[in-house]
Each structure stands twice: as C-alpha cells, then as structure tokens.
Chains A and B, each alone.
Chain A
Amino acid sequence: MRPFSLFEFFERMERWVAQLGRGGLALLVRLMTITIILLALAWLGYLFWIGQARLNTEFLFGFNSVVARKAGVYPALMGSLWLLLMVFLLSFPPGLAIAVHLERGRTNRRIKHLISLNLSNLAGIPSVVYGLAGLEIFARQLNLGVCLMSAALTLALMALPTVIITCREAIRRVPAELEDGAVALGATPLQALWFQTLPTALPGILSGVMLSISRVVGEAAPLLVLGAVAFVPYAPNSVWDYFTLLPVQIFYWSNQSQPDFAPNAAAAVVILLGITLIFHLFALWIRNRWKERIHL
C-alpha cells in the first residue's frame, strides 16, 4: 500500500477542482462572501421592518409598561448611557496604567510575559462567569447590592483585559526614537512618556478604548446574572440606584409570550445597534486620522 502523500492528495483535489471549471472555486469563494454580506443586510432590513412602528420619540422617552404599545425605552437607554460612562471611568485609568507598565516598566520580562498571558486568557472568559463573580464579590460580599455601581464594576473588570491590550497596541505604534529625543534633552523616562509618547498615542488609545467599551454596552448576560430586571419605572438618578439596560430590556421583550412586544424589541435593537455603531465609527475615524499623523 502506497504511503499517503499530501502532494498526491492535493494533486487529486486539483484535478477535481479543475473539473469544476477554472472559475469554479473562485465562484464558490465569492459566493460565500456574498452570503455574508446578504445576511448582514437581511437582518438589518428585518429589524427595521419589524421595529419601524416603534421608532419614534414616544418610544425613546417613554417608560416601560405592560401594554406593548405604550412601552418605552427611556430608563433602559439612560441606564445604558450611565453604565457606559461609569465603565469608562472605572476601566480606563487602571487599564492605561497596566498597559504602560507592561510596555515600559522595569520588571522581569518573564513576569511581564506571565501577566500579559494571563490577561489575554482573561479576555476570553465568558461574560456570565464575570457576572457570577461580580454578583458574589460586589453585590454580596462588598454589600453593594444590585445597583449601577456593582454592574459597572463587573463590566469594568470584564473590559479591562481588552482595554489593556488595545492601549498596548497604541503605545507600540509610537516610534521609540521619540522618547530617546526627549530623554536626550534631559527628561526623565516618565516625563518622556507623559509628555511625548502618551499624547502621541492618545488618539489610538482612545479609539481602542471606545471600541472595547462599546462592546460592553451590548452585554446582557452578566447583568442579568447580577440581577438586572426590566421593569424599572424610572431612569437612574445615582450610581446606587436600581437600573435596567437596553440589552436587558431587549432580552425580556424577546422572551415575552405576547408577540406584541416583538416590535419593541426590534426597535430597541435598532437603537442599541445605532449607539454601538456610532461609537465604533467614531473610534475608527479617530484611529484613521491618527494613523495619518503618525506616519508623516
């Protein structure tokens, strides 16, 4: 029996492919790509179609209600925006600090590698796990209860690894000669970093952080685990309030047995997507402008 030869295998496959016609596989590849594009378009269209009845100011500024037609999304919207801001404030400073330390700090390289590896792995942990940990640590042990603060802390923890990774990326893009130039003028390494490298890297850092945070805004699972509910009749007034959020609202509305709530859910989805996309596009815009500036 002849030993299996990879080369032969591919040759045979080649011949089979050639039988499909020269353009065969190319066509297949293009088809796959088109499928994806169509999918994306299809469900954007579907969302709009279903939810169009609800996309009005009443919906945006109204409060939740048992009657589908009257239900509004204001508390959820406000909750999400509050949460966004809080997560940003809670995760950006430590994230940047750790990123700077990993890039420039004087620690044993092996330890830095270990920390970095740990962070990359933490970044891939399921969000429910974070939610459960947050429930136990923040809501129960630290006695914060179910409020915006514990939600923000949980999500900040979840976003932290990603924030660190993107900050490091941005700092790495800045050429090292910049710091050399500053140091040669008598700046300490920290001064060189603070006055030259970081300002130069800032747009990249900001865009990366915005991307990370905008993903957080769509997370429902950890918050549900934490105890978010959907029927909260007021918009949050302080960080210690009960709260609800857009994705949570969507979850509950999707689950309702009455089909009346489907349009609500669709409309809320559109709003959520809108917010996320705005953030993303803004972040990308910043990053593109910044790339031009760096490569001058």
Chain B
Amino acid sequence: MKKRERVAAWLMGALSWASLGVTLIFLWLFTHLSLPFFARLDWGAFFTSTQWTPLYEVKQFGILPLLTGTLMCCFIALIVALPVGLTTAVFLNEYAQSWLKELALGALHVLSVTPSVVYGFLALQWLTPLLQQYIPSLQTYNALVPGILMGIMILPIIISITREAMQSMPNSLRDEAEAMGASRWQIILMLLLPYSRRGIAAASMLALSRALGETMIVSIAAGQHAGLTLNPLEATQTASSYILQLSLGDVGQDSTEYASLFAVALSLFVFTYLLNLAGHRMGRSLNHLSYLAKEHAPI
C-alpha cells in the first residue's frame, strides 16, 4: 500500500514538473523553427520597411505594418473596455441588490461565454454595416469594428478583476471615511479607485494580453492585408491573424514565410507571457487563485 502511494505521489510530481517543460518546449520549438527566418532577414529593412508582403512575389518583411496593426486594434479595444469596465465595476460594487445588477451580471456572463468566432461574425455582418451608415468612409474590412468588439470581449476580464480588487478593500476604511463625512462619490473617487489601482493595472495587463492573442475577430473583420496605416477605417492585420492567414494557405515547409510564422509566434508568446507575469505580480495582493479563476471563467 505504501508503495502504491509513493508511485502515485511521484507521478503527480512528475506531471507538475512536466508543465514547466511545456514552456521550455514552446520556446525551443519556436526559436528553432524561426531561425531560418532570422538568418535570411535583412535587418535594416525589417525595422524600417513599410511593407509586409510575405505572400507576394517580391517578399518584403518590414515589421512596422504588422506592429501598427496589432497595436491599433489593441489600443481601440482598451479605449472601449477600460472606461466602460471601470464604471460598471464601480456600479456593481457600490449598488447592491438592484435588479439592474443581476441583469448586468447575467449579460456579462453571456459576453464572457461567447466564443470569439461569434464576435467575428457579428463584427462583419452586423456592426460594420451598421457603422457604415454613420461613417461613410468606413471600409468593409477595417480596424475599428474589430477593435470595438475586442474591447467588449475583454470587458468581463476587466470587470471581474477590478471588482475583486474593489471588494478586497476593508469595510473599516469605508466606515472611517463615512464617519468623516465623505459622500458616496468622494469615497469612490478618492478612496476606492486609488485603493484598487493595482488591481486595475493588473486587469488591464491581463486584458491586453488576451486582446493581443485574439485572432478570430480580426481575421474575419479586419482584412488580410497589413498596410502601414494608422487609420482605423482601413483594413489591417494583427500578428495573430497573420499566423492564421498564413496557415490557411499553402505554405512550403522550407520557405521563409513558414519560418516567419514561428518568428511571429515566438514574439507573441514571449510578449503575452511577460504581460501575464507583470499582470499577476501587480495583482499579487489579491486573492491569487480566485481572481485567476475569474480571469478564465469570470463571474
């Protein structure tokens, strides 16, 4: 009996160690497979060229278009998500037991459950035509609509983590402020928000990491071409959608494009990993596990 138990315990430990191996394998794999890309790269053009055309006859590998596309979409997403998310979190925290609160929680749940393909579908079929009525210069494939929808998609993350941070504020602090005569809004603005700023920062970082990795919405609604543009009304491409686009096509295994896939994946991996790390360190004071659980299954 003792031996069986020891074997079981050893097995569990081995699996845990193996999980560390996953990260290492990913890193090694991506680095190894992206070496051809980096080896054949014209580094000057990489940083300065405004063209990213791996699939054209004349392949150009300037990083700027992809970078701006990715950043633009994420930026729009955050602009949408942060204000709405923060105010909603404040509402959910401050106004207890309102019928509106229950409804809002339900709606958030629906939002968090929705797969990203659905957002993508809605982006192209619903929101783009809708917005085109108000913004005539909005093209069919653009960066604005995916950005907005990505913002909505990361709302639940921001709200749940921010709420967690807000709820962790001890009631005694609030009582003291009230005893000094502070109004509800003074408490919110001058006590609650500063207290939760770490949680808010953590929420933003984790939400950003999620937005960076978002593929479907962008692939469906933003177009497949990365031109260097800061105009959200035009088509663009993000790093993730690039990976998808290339994978859908016919790419020879020895080609530079194939290696570029892994180069992009490597940078995505490293970047989101570090963002997650920073976000978790920020939110360290929060109840570590429960807010992690919330991040992946909010509400």
Instruction: Tell me the A residues contacting B by CB distance below 8 Å.
Output: 7, 10, 13-14, 17, 25, 28-30, 32-37, 39-41, 43-44, 46-47, 50, 94, 97-98, 100-102, 105-107, 112, 114-115, 117-129, 131-133, 135-137, 157, 160-162, 164-166, 168-169, 172, 188, 190, 208, 211-212, 214-215, 217-221, 224-227, 247, 250-251, 254-255, 262, 265-266, 269, 272-273, 276-277, 280
Assess whether B272 is in contact with A125, with CB atoms less than 8 Å apart. Answer: yes
Please give me the residue from chain A that is nearest to B2 by CB atom. A188
List B contacts of A40 (CB < 8 A): 107, 110-111
Partner of A276, one of B87, B113, B244, B247: B113
Main SS of chain A's interface residues? Answer: helix
Assess whether A128 is in contact with B88, with CB atoms less than 8 Å apart. Answer: no
Partner of B296, one of A34, A97, A165: A165
User: Which of B41-49, B122-130, B161-169 faces chain A?
Assistant: B122-130
Assess whether B84 is in contact with A32, with CB atoms less than 8 Å apart. Answer: yes
List A contacts of B269 (CB < 8 A): 125-126, 129
* Shortest beta-carbon distance from B299 to chain A in Å: 9
Assess whether B12 is in contact with A46, with CB atoms less than 8 Å apart. Answer: no
Assess whether A220 is in contact with B116, with CB atoms less than 8 Å apart. Answer: yes
Assess whether A132 is in contact with B247, with CB atoms less than 8 Å apart. Answer: yes
User: Which of B71-79, B184-192, B225-233 faces chain A?
Assistant: B184-192
Assess whether B126 is in contact with A46, with CB atoms less than 8 Å apart. Answer: yes
Tell me whether A118 and B23 are in contact in the complex, defined as CB-CB below 8 angstroms, given that A100-B12, A128-B215, A250-B121 are known contacts: yes
Assess whether A124 is in contact with B209, with CB atoms less than 8 Å apart. Answer: yes
Partner of B261, one of A28, A32, A132: A132
Bound Cα distance from A224 to B83, whole angstroms: 34
Q: Rank and list the top 5 A-B pairs by shortest CB-CB distance, nearest first.
A: A126-B213, A218-B115, A101-B12, A221-B215, A40-B107
Assess whether B114 is in contact with A273, with CB atoms less than 8 Å apart. Answer: yes
Bound Cα distance from A129 to B103, whole angstroms: 35
Bound Cα distance from A272 to B297, whole angstroms: 18
Bound Cα distance from A106 to B10, whole angstroms: 10
- Give the interface centre of A35, A40, A112 by most chain B CB atoms within 10 Å: A40
List A contacts of B17 (CB < 8 A): 115
Bound Cα distance from A225 to B293, whole angstroms: 27
Please give me the residue from chain A that is nearest to B159 by CB atom. A36
User: Which of B58-66, B173-181, B274-282 faces chain A?
Assistant: B274-282
Please give me the residue from chain B that is nearest to A229 by CB atom. B248
Assess whether A43 is in contact with B29, with CB atoms less than 8 Å apart. Answer: no
Assess whether B87 is in contact with A220, with CB atoms less than 8 Å apart. Answer: no
Asked whether B289 is an interface residue with its Cβ less than 8 Å from the other chain, the reply is yes
* Shortest beta-carbon distance from B122 to chain A in Å: 5
Tell me whether A126 and B115 are in contact in the complex, defined as CB-CB below 8 angstroms, given that A36-B84, A166-B293, A250-B121 are known contacts: no
Assess whether A14 is in contact with B186, with CB atoms less than 8 Å apart. Answer: yes
List B contacts of A168 (CB < 8 A): 289
Given contacts A32-B91, A165-B293, 5 further A-B contacts (CB under 8 A): A14-B185, A50-B125, A101-B9, A136-B33, A254-B117
List A contacts of B110 (CB < 8 A): 40, 44, 277
Assess whether B116 is in contact with A221, with CB atoms less than 8 Å apart. Answer: yes
Please give me the residue from chain A that is nearest to B101 by CB atom. A33
Assess whether A36 is in contact with B292, with CB atoms less than 8 Å apart. Answer: no
Asked whether B257 is an interface residue with its Cβ less than 8 Å from the other chain, the reply is no
Partner of A124, one of B22, B206, B297: B206
Partner of B13, one of A101, A118, A136, A247: A101
Bound Cα distance from A272 to B121, whole angstroms: 13
Bound Cα distance from A280 to B91, whole angstroms: 25
List A contacts of B13 (CB < 8 A): 101, 105, 107
Assess whether B265 is in contact with A132, with CB atoms less than 8 Å apart. Answer: yes
- Give the interface centre of A121, A212, A219, A272 by most chain B CB atoms within 10 Å: A121
Asked whether B39 is an interface residue with its Cβ less than 8 Å from the other chain, the reply is no
A-B contact pairs, 11 of them (CB 8 A): A14-B189, A33-B87, A100-B12, A123-B276, A124-B209, A126-B214, A133-B26, A215-B296, A224-B248, A251-B220, A277-B113
Assess whether B16 is in contact with A124, with CB atoms less than 8 Å apart. Answer: no
Please give me the residue from chain A that is nearest to B246 by CB atom. A225
